[in-house]
Structure 1
Amino acid sequence: MEAASHIKSIKNVTELQLVDNPAWCGDKESIKGDKYDDLQCARFICPVVGLEMNGRHRFCFLRSCGCVFSERALKEIKAEVCHKVF
């Protein structure tokens, strides 16, 4: 319970919008996260610059829409609006 003690109401929760990595060929049905697949690529990427979400790069999200971007993409664009490529 200590890990979620900062959540006071549902307003403190944001549903994240992640972008699938087209190079990822793992088990898309396994959504629990309890299985390790060494595929040499990450399941999700930054939609702006294409960096993989593999723990080497920092990622952040926009509270307004929940879109997830790499910190590098937000620094290059220098604006806090959604830049998701549709």
Structure 2
Amino acid sequence: MHSARSGLIQIKFDKSACLACPLAVHQRGLRSLALLPTRELHEIQQHNRLEQHTEDWHCWYAIRAGIEATLSRNVRACGLRRTR
């Protein structure tokens, strides 16, 4: 199954196929794979994941997390979505 929205290729396995697998992942209830359609997208994803371990990324994310927390508090406490 190909998801046009996310670009992922989803592969789902029957429970019987997973139980026959020698790997232990089926014990955690994982019976599907999500694959990126191209090598380029995979490399971009790998680069982004490595970048998350840098100090610059953590500084940027701290700013974003602060903004998200402020918005969330205002939505919950002040009804921001319902305010004109």
TM-score, structure 1 as length reference: 0.23
TM-score, structure 2 as length reference: 0.24
Greater percentage in helix: 2
Work out which of the two has the higher radius of gyration on C-alpha atoms and give 1 or 2.
2
- The structure, 1 or 2, with the larger RCO (C-alpha pairs under 8 Å, 6+ apart) is 1
